[in-house]
């Protein structure tokens, strides 16, 4: 994917690209992809009356109808190309690749609920994915207008020709920050809807509109866009039942730096989402998924079959605190540690980490990575001063020693890292905060080193 003029803002990535839809469908860490219509500075809420803000919102639409129409045209263009591709691929065995116009096609990508705070510079582009793109088009369109019902590959229905005046639409509005205190999302949505109807003559259809308009008003920006794909990118064709959000699963696998020839274990795999994402991206790796629950393992087995990954991922029924693995046999341990009401965690988070410490091999490549909730995160931080009791087995070759307490230095951006004490011989490397919708979580990355503890 060739992205230019990339810009990150809090949960959204804006970028410019010339890639076609198929390539864009492959974006793994993004939730949804939008075409940007407008991006501007936030509304100044406190100092201005409600009525004034209403008119400001209306101006979003009325000030610049051209840009709206342009974006809609591009959107239709994209759909058409996609529809053509689908029809072609259904007719003959070799689908032809249709390239988008040579002009700058810029697409806005909106990450619905993903936030990454980096402690290091320069992670790969794929991880962050906060890109802004504004759509601009040089030529005018002369193609016949066709709409596509579904954007999924197996279904491609051609809809009757519509011209722009017969568009049906729906407005989805999200408000955060100061503006959310003055307005509800519905109010803003209504204003926008009415303005759109007046300006372009479109009709509102809440149930099954042709076009969905997304608006996000926050303290940092006001953004308007339309989704490129009907179905969010996060719903993967190859996963039948998801546990963890697939975007986060992919991100974790990415952070873990999985390389060919490694042995990767997920000791609390659930439905296997993390390893599924990992196996799709890094296939030359030996994966083992383990869980204590039969029903979860059967779900995972289902997922594996559906994804065609039965040969890549082995299943084991085993408890994470009693892993039948010799010391230092695993290259990477990656897991979504259960939390919340859905699952019970038999043992404390710390004893889990203790257990994982032994099988992980030494060296620079080997590391483990896990997703922890706020509560776990706090417990890991608080436990700094106390010593970790040796585990009940007592038979490990690796001594655990005392967790050292790091005196945190509150540098900007490095805050997270400093507050994470080393865990026995596991040294914390990175920590990312991610949003899972209603709750937040953290991705911790540890590496095993020779120095501490022993």
Interface region with another protein, contact rule CB under 8 A, candidates 51-59, 229-237, 294-302, 374-382? 294-302
Which position among 134, 218, 242, 296 is part of the footprint of another protein (CB under 8 A)? 296
The answer to whether the beta carbons of residues 305 and 316 sit under 8 Å apart is: no
Size of the site for another protein (CB under 8 A): 35
Which position among 194, 292, 306, 436 is part of the footprint of another protein (CB under 8 A)? 292
Q: Which of residues 377-396 bind another protein (CB under 8 A)?
A: 393, 395-396
Which position among 294, 364, 412, 451 is part of the footprint of another protein (CB under 8 A)? 294
Q: Tell me how far, at minimum, the Cβ of 251 lies from another protein, in Å.
A: 24
351 is a site residue for another protein (CB under 8 A) = no
Here's the x/- map for another protein, 302-341, by CB under 8 A: it reads as ---------x--xxxxxx--xxxxxx-x------------
Place of tokens 């372009």: 200
Q: Tell me how far, at minimum, the Cβ of 323 lies from another protein, in Å.
A: 7
234 is a site residue for another protein (CB under 8 A) = no
Q: Which of residues 93-112 bind another protein (CB under 8 A)?
A: none
Here's the x/- map for another protein, 395-434, by CB under 8 A: it reads as xxx-------------------------------------
Handedness of CA 310, 313, 318, 320 (dihedral sign): negative
- Burial code (b: 16+ CB inside 10 Å, e: under 16) for 208-221 equals ebbbebbbbbbeeb
Q: Tell me how far, at minimum, the Cβ of 88 lies from another protein, in Å.
A: 28
Q: Tell me how far, at minimum, the Cβ of 417 lies from another protein, in Å.
A: 32
Q: Which of 405, 454 has the CB closer to another protein?
A: 454
Give which of 65, 62, 49, 375 is closest to 182, Cα–Cα: 49
Q: Tell me how far, at minimum, the Cβ of 326 lies from another protein, in Å.
A: 5
The neighbour count for residue 266, using CB atoms within 10 Å, is 30
Which position among 37, 179, 252, 297 is part of the footprint of another protein (CB under 8 A)? 297
The residues of the shown chain that bind another protein, judged by CB under 8 A, are: 260-261, 263, 284, 286, 288, 292-297, 301, 311, 314-319, 322-327, 329, 342-344, 346, 393, 395-397
């Amino acid at each position: 994917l060739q992205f230019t003029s990339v810009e990150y803002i809090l949960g959204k990535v804006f970028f410019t690209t010339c890639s076609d839809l198929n390539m864009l469908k492959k974006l793994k860490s993004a939730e949804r992809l939008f075409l940007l219509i407008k991006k501007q500075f936030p509304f100044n809420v406190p100092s201005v009356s409600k009525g004034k803000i209403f008119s400001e919102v209306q101006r979003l639409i009325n000030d610049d109808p051209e840009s709206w129409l342009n974006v809609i045209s591009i959107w239709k263009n994209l759909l058409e190309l996609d529809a053509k591709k689908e029809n072609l691929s259904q007719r003959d065995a070799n689908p032809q690749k249709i390239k988008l116009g040579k002009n700058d096609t810029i697409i806005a990508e909106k990450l619905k609920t993903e936030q990454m705070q980096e402690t290091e510079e320069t992670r790969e582009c794929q991880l962050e994915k906060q890109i802004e793109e504004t759509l601009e088009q040089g030529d005018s369109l002369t193609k016949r207008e066709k709409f596509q019902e579904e954007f999924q590959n197996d279904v491609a229905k051609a809809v009757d020709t519509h011209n722009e005046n017969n568009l049906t639409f729906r407005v989805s509005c999200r408000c955060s920050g100061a503006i959310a205190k003055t307005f509800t999302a519905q109010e803003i949505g209504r204003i926008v809807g009415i303005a759109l109807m007046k300006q372009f003559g479109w009709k509102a259809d809440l149930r099954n509109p042709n076009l969905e308009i997304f608006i996000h008003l926050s303290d940092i920006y006001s953004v308007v866009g339309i989704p490129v794909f009907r179905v969010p990118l996060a719903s993967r064709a190859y996963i039948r039942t998801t546990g963890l959000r697939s975007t986060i699963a992919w991100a974790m696998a990415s952070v873990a730096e999985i390389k060919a020839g490694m042995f990767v274990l997920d000791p609390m795999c659930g439905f296997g989402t993390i390893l599924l994402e990992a196996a799709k991206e890094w296939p030359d790796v030996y994966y083992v998924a383990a869980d204590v629950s039969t029903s979860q393992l059967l779900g995972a087995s289902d997922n594996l079959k559906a994804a065609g990954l039965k040969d890549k991922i082995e299943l084991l029924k085993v408890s994470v605190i009693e892993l039948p693995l010799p010391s230092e046999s695993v290259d990477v341990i990656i897991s979504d540690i259960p939390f919340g009401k859905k699952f019970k965690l038999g043992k404390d988070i710390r004893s889990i980490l203790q257990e994982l410490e032994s099988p992980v091999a030494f060296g620079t490549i080997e590391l483990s990575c896990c997703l922890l909730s706020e509560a776990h995160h706090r417990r890991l931080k608080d436990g700094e001063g106390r010593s970790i009791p040796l585990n009940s087995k007592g038979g490990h070759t690796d001594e655990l020693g005392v967790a050292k307490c790091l005196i945190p230095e509150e540098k900007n951006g490095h805050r997270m890292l400093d507050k994470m004490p080393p865990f026995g011989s596991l040294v914390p490397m990175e920590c990312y905060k991610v949003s899972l919708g209603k709750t937040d979580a953290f991705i911790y990355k540890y590496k095993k080193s020779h120095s501490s503890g022993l």
